[in-house]
Amino acid sequence: MPSKSNHEGRAIVRICESVSASCLGPLLVAVLSGSAAAACASRGETDVEPSLEAGRELLGGATTVFDVSGEAFSFPARNLTTELSNSFSLGNHFFRRNWVSAPASIAGNDGLGPTFNATSCDACHFKDGRGAPPTAPGERFVGLLVRLSVPGEDPHGGPLGEPNYGGQFNQNAILGVKAEGNVAVTYEEIAGSYADGEAYSLRRPSYAFSDLAFGPLASNVMTSPRVAQAIIGLGLLAAIPEETLRALSDEDDRNGDGISGRMNFVWNQREGRRTVGRFGWKANQPTVEQQVAGAFLGDIGITSALNPAENCPAAQAECASARSGGETGAPELSEQKLVAVTRYNTTLAVPSRRDWNRADVRRGEQLFGEAGCAACHLPKVETGELAGFPALSNQLIRPYTDLLLHDMGPDLADGRPDFLATGTEWRTAPLWGIGLQKVVNRHEFLLHDGRARGLAEAILWHGGEATLSRDAFRAMGNVDRAAVLAFLKDL
Ligand code: HEC
Ligand code: HEC
């Protein structure tokens, strides 16, 4: 595990990995020698080749489940208590249900809108997995939404919403209320080739807004298209101690490896102060609860105790006067429902690896370390205590993320800051479960806006701090590249 107190934590992790990967044969379980080994041992590092470590298939520790079907992302952590299992079932129900506009015939079902992106959580996080960008011209956006802001900060240091459209573009509205407009994406193909001459093509998205109901967007508007993320293992990520993240971060790149992860600090509505961000593509949400309440309001138009006011910018008069759902004067989502959905999102399990002992997969795991991928996609970390969730506490997990922000270069930049995250920074995406995305979601689109059409394209888009790592992948021959992809598909 990374050291708690200094900036060498990341360097040590890397030394341990590269020593074991480059000096030891793939079939050899051996004890490391020399100073790096001493450093590893003194920090409790493993002395076993990472691609041979026992238990490495259990990505979520004891919470790991073993389903590999299209439902693989929809199971509760294997070791949950009965009470939490019951909350899981209830939360699951509200996650999948379609919300309707007020008044509904059944009390407690309404509150949709006035404006919204989708009528259920599941519409975007289909089977608790990942959303997709539109696949045909003119197709409406569902699993992809666009965040909006103008330069400046809100009173809490967060993005300042576009004056007439707010912080998120809502293409839908309930009857009698104007939707904000439409957005479409088109792609430009960019040709490239690997070092061995094999050709590839990447598609660069561009977005066009139309039918804008409240006038043109501000001339200085900043937009950030983001797809819905898979929501497995979130409680485990919440349980990683803040001091571990601090030890991993290396803001000024003091160890000189070209990689300078840093924490985002974002407004925590419950605590009334800024705390470390963990969720969202820019680590822009501090807790699962706040992310869930934010989704209810921003994506579906449902108010809660955490977000009691509807999302109606001043220019949107019909929005402001539309009828609310729920009981008069109370938020549309009861506290009990918010708790259930939060628990559900906290306890969705990560599936096990499948082919971790296959030779090409092991080779890919080694190459992943050698190419420096593991410097950001941290293979292994321990959770601390997560209050109320003993099942998730003190687990050895393999999320393949450090939850830190990294500059990924101009090609991936959205140019839209989000608290401390700049327009070029993104949170290292967790890679657990990524190999089952195709089975669960029936598509292979990756990256924050779904531009990558598969794992190789996702890697090829890496830039900024990940440039060397990407170039190492580009320089590999096709057998090694296939091994890296085989490893990722096994996660
Ligand atoms: C319109 C599509 C859409 C809908 C509907 C939607 N989400 Fe999301 N969800 C997203 C996007 C996009 C993100 C990434 C947000 C960001 O980066 O700011 C996200 C992120 C999340 C995350 C954080 C995942 C992570 O790995 O950090 C959680 C949890 C979540 N959503 C829960 C919900 C819940 C609960 C609902 C229903 C109340 C919901 N979402 C409805 C699109 C959607
Ligand atoms: C400097 C840190 C860093 C390094 C090094 C790095 N990555 Fe990433 N990776 C990221 C970040 C940040 C994202 C999210 C970028 C985005 O969505 O725009 C990401 C996204 C990905 C994704 C897509 C995940 C998703 O959910 O869409 C894959 C696959 C991936 N990386 C694999 C790799 C591999 C393989 C390597 C080594 C060749 C590597 N990465 C090196 C930071 C890094």
Is the pLDDT confidence value at 45 over 80?
no
Q: How many alpha carbons fall within 13 Å on the CB side of residue 83?
A: 5
Which ligand sits nearest to residue 472's alpha carbon?
A: 2
3-state SS class at 397: strand
Q: Is 73 in the pocket of ligand 1 (CB under 6 A)?
A: no
Which of 14, 282, 376 should be mutated for ligand 2, with most atoms under 8 A from CB? 376
Is the pLDDT confidence value at 174 over 60?
yes
Q: Which residue has the higher pLDDT, 279 or 52?
A: 279
Question: pLDDT tens for residues 346-383?
Answer: 999 999 999 999 999 999 999 999 999 999 999 999 99
Q: Is 231 in the pocket of ligand 1 (CB under 6 A)?
A: yes
- The contacts of residue 298 (CB under 8 Å, 6+ apart) are 117, 167, 168, 311
DSSP letter for each residue of 75-121: PBPTT--HHHHHHHHHHHHHHHSPPBPSSPSSTTSB---SEES-SSH
- The contacts of residue 429 (CB under 8 Å, 6+ apart) are 281, 377, 401, 447, 448
Distance CA(356)–CA(257), nearest Å, equals 29
State the average pLDDT for the chain.
90
3-state SS class at 136: coil
- The contacts of residue 29 (CB under 8 Å, 6+ apart) are 48, 49, 52
Ligand 1 atom nearest to 282, measured from its CA: 17
Distance CA(260)–CA(250), nearest Å, equals 5
- The contacts of residue 438 (CB under 8 Å, 6+ apart) are 444
Which ligand sits nearest to residue 117's alpha carbon?
A: 1
- Whether 430 contacts 283, CB under 8 Å: no
Q: Is 426 in the pocket of ligand 2 (CB under 6 A)?
A: yes
Question: pLDDT tens for residues 276-335?
Answer: 999 999 999 999 999 999 999 999 999 999 999 999 999 999 999 999 898 888 999 999
For CA atoms 370, 35, 250, 491, the dihedral sign is positive
Q: What percent of the chain has pLDDT over 70?
A: 90
**What's the gap in Å between 49 CA and the centre of ligand 2?**
23
Question: pLDDT tens for residues 438-479?
Answer: 999 999 999 999 999 999 999 999 999 999 999 999 999 999
Number of Cβ within a 10 Å radius of residue 389: 21
What average pLDDT does this structure show over 223-244? 98
**57 band by pLDDT with thresholds 50, 70 and 90:** very high
Is the pLDDT confidence value at 273 over 90?
yes
- Whether 464 contacts 424, CB under 8 Å: yes
Distance CA(260)–CA(434), nearest Å, equals 24
Is the pLDDT confidence value at 158 over 60?
yes
Residue 434 is predicted with a pLDDT of 98
Q: Is 429 in the pocket of ligand 2 (CB under 6 A)?
A: yes
159, β-bridge pairs: 153
Poorest-confidence range of 208-222, 319-333, 426-440?
A: 319-333
Distance CA(296)–CA(127), nearest Å, equals 17
**3 band by pLDDT with thresholds 50, 70 and 90:** very low
Q: What percent of the chain has pLDDT over 90?
A: 84
Note the residue count of the chain.
491
Joined together, the tokens standing for residue 36 give: 């790096």
**47 band by pLDDT with thresholds 50, 70 and 90:** low
Joined together, the tokens standing for residue 44 give: 């409790």
For residue 267, the one-letter residue type is W
Distance CA(420)–CA(348), nearest Å, equals 28
Q: How many alpha carbons fall within 13 Å on the CB side of residue 134?
A: 18
Poorest-confidence range of 11-20, 29-38, 71-80, 160-169?
A: 29-38
Question: pLDDT tens for residues 19-44?
Answer: 333 322 222 222 222 333 333 333 23
Poorest-confidence range of 7-16, 72-81, 178-187, 478-487?
A: 7-16
Distance CA(262)–CA(247), nearest Å, equals 10
DSSP tally for the chain: helices H, then strands E:
14, 13
Ligand 2 atom nearest to 484, measured from its CA: 35
- Residue linked to tokens 């990256």: 447
CA distances from 294 to 38, 301, 342 (A): 46, 9, 11
Is the pLDDT confidence value at 107 over 80?
no
What average pLDDT does this structure show over 105-129? 93
Residue 137 is predicted with a pLDDT of 87
Among protein residues, the one with the nearest Cα to ligand 2's atom 41 is 373
- Whether 379 contacts 364, CB under 8 Å: no
- Bond before 114 cis per omega within 30 degrees: yes
Distance CA(295)–CA(293), nearest Å, equals 5
- Whether 338 contacts 294, CB under 8 Å: no
**255 band by pLDDT with thresholds 50, 70 and 90:** confident
What average pLDDT does this structure show over 5-27? 33
pTM of this structure: 0.92
Distance CA(92)–CA(112), nearest Å, equals 18
Q: Is 295 in the pocket of ligand 1 (CB under 6 A)?
A: yes
DSSP single-letter state for residue 375 = G
